[in-house]
Amino acid sequence: MTDYSSSQKKYQPRTMLTRLEEHASQIYTLELFRKVQAQIRREALHYVQSVIDDNINRVFMLDCYALEKGNAQVSCAKMVPQICCSCLHFETFGIPCGHLFHIAKVEGFTSIPNTLSYVNGRRGRKFHMSLM
């Protein structure tokens, strides 16, 4: 008997970023995967307005084609696979935002970095909580 079960079904691509979507289907539970899939679809609403490149980071200024508030700043570290967004969607909801997926597409990512997946949302892992 396992401590964790998932009703994850066979992966069916629904976006243009099939490699990232397939990787998400392998690491997230079905419930979170559907939310991630929605964010992958939202990446097409964004475009890079400008890029600031230094020796440590590449910072992308994004804007949105839609009328909604879509301005964001995404920072990619060059030395380690780390990416973060000013909208704080990942920090708030535990899944990458459309801004991050847009930059993942621009940068040619084929998988979601480990830094963008919390332990409790990953398939095959138990939620761990410690009381101090």
Both tokens of 60, joined, read 């992308």
Alpha carbons 112 and 104: distance in angstroms, whole number: 8
Residue 40 domain-assigned (yes or no):
yes
Alpha carbons 74 and 61: distance in angstroms, whole number: 7
Give the pLDDT score at 78.
Answer: 80
Q: Is the pTM of this model over 0.95?
A: no
Residue 26 domain-assigned (yes or no):
yes
Residue 131 domain-assigned (yes or no):
no
Q: Is 12 left (phi over 0), alpha (psi -120 to 50) or beta?
A: beta
Residue 37 domain-assigned (yes or no):
yes
- Tens digit of pLDDT at every position of the chain (132 positions): 444 444 555 666 677 788 888 988 888 888 998 999 999 999 989 999 999 998 889 999 999 887 666 689 999 888 877 789 999 999 899 899 999 999 989 988 888 888 777 644 444 433 332 222
Domain hosting 65: range is 18-117
Residue 4 domain-assigned (yes or no):
no
Residue 124 domain-assigned (yes or no):
no
Assign 53 to helix, strand or coil.
Answer: strand
* Total domains, the chain: 1
Assign 42 to helix, strand or coil.
Answer: helix
What is the 8-class DSSP label of residue 56? S
Give the pLDDT score at 128.
Answer: 30
* CB of 72 closer than 8 Å to CB of 14: no
Give the pLDDT score at 3.
Answer: 41
Both tokens of 14, joined, read 């629904």
Using alpha carbons, select from 59, 11, 21, 19 the residue that is nearest to residue 42.
21
Give the pLDDT score at 59.
Answer: 95
